[in-house]
Amino acid sequence: MVKINNKQTPLNTDQQILTATLKLFSEKGYFNTSVRDISRESGVSIGSIYHHFKDKEGVASAIYNSLLERINSELSEIQSVHKTAHDRCHAVVSFLFELTEQEPDVMEFMLYSKHREFLPDEIPLCSSQPFELMREMVKSGMQSGEIETMDVILASSCLYGAALRMITSKLDGLLEKPLYEYLDTIWKHSWKSVCI
């Protein structure tokens, strides 16, 4: 089952709504999902949904922000556990692969949606804390001499680009094997592209 936050609280109405909505959004997209659909899928009445959230966009916004927060705390943990850019970025890719396999809905919604179309007031994913943190790790690797000096966005594209494409390929059903079977190879080549 997909959890929106990673606390082990018993499922309250909020969570029921968010979980059902994430499933529908990742399956059909925001615009193909009606509030009636959410009511049916979650078993919560329309009235209750509007009692818990301002409107449909409010539900999407709650999902987006809680997932951003969850991913960010995971990346922060990675940053504090590992000390080199090599180990940090490797752990990031590994985590993203794991998340894709365990909770494809989450990745589908986070990596593979055009949030700007239905959440115009939220911060874009590419400027969000997790993405900033991923670039920060690359930057520190350039300063420590592990990674060739170049534009940070460019280096990040080189280092994460292949892995992110493998994730979308997985979500598109192009890959038969689970993602982690590609992890070592992807990482080897990605690192090779930027290391000194």
Partner DNA sequence: GTCTATACGACGATAGAC
Partner DNA sequence: GTCTATCGTCGTATAGAC
Residue 145 binds which of a copy of itself, DNA, none (CB < 5-8 A, kind-dependent): none
Q: Tell me how far apart the terminal alpha carbons of the chain are, to the nearest angstrom.
A: 43
Site string for a copy of itself, 7-46 (x = CB under 8 A): ---------------------xxxxx--------------
Angle of CA points 191, 157, 146, to nearest 5°:
40
Using the rule CB under 7 A, is 19 a contact of DNA?
no
Q: Which residues are 195's β-sheet partners?
A: 147
Give the interface segment with a copy of itself, choosing from 51-59, 60-68, 82-90, 120-128 (CB under 8 A).
120-128
Minimum Å distance from CB 112 to a copy of itself?
A: 7
**Count of CA atoms in the C-beta half-sphere (13 A) of 38:** 31
Distance, CA of 60 to CA of 55 (rounded, Å) = 9
Using the rule CB under 8 A, is 175 a contact of a copy of itself?
yes
Using the rule CB under 7 A, is 50 a contact of DNA?
yes
Helix/strand/coil for 81: helix
Minimum Å distance from CB 184 to a copy of itself?
A: 11
**Count of CA atoms in the C-beta half-sphere (13 A) of 122:** 23
Distance, CA of 156 to CA of 153 (rounded, Å) = 5
3-class SS string, 105-121 = HHHHHHHCCCHHHHCCC
Give the interface segment with DNA, choosing from 38-46, 81-89, 90-98, 177-185 (CB under 7 A).
38-46
Binding test (CB under 7 A) with DNA, winner from 28, 40, 51, 114: 51
Binding test (CB under 8 A) with a copy of itself, winner from 117, 149, 178, 180: 117
Residue 182 binds which of DNA, a copy of itself, none (CB < 5-8 A, kind-dependent): a copy of itself
Using the rule CB under 7 A, is 35 a contact of DNA?
yes
Give the interface segment with DNA, choosing from 49-57, 162-170, 173-181, 186-194 (CB under 7 A).
49-57
Instruction: List CB contacts of 105: < 8 A, sequence separation 6 or more.
Output: 2, 22, 23, 26, 27
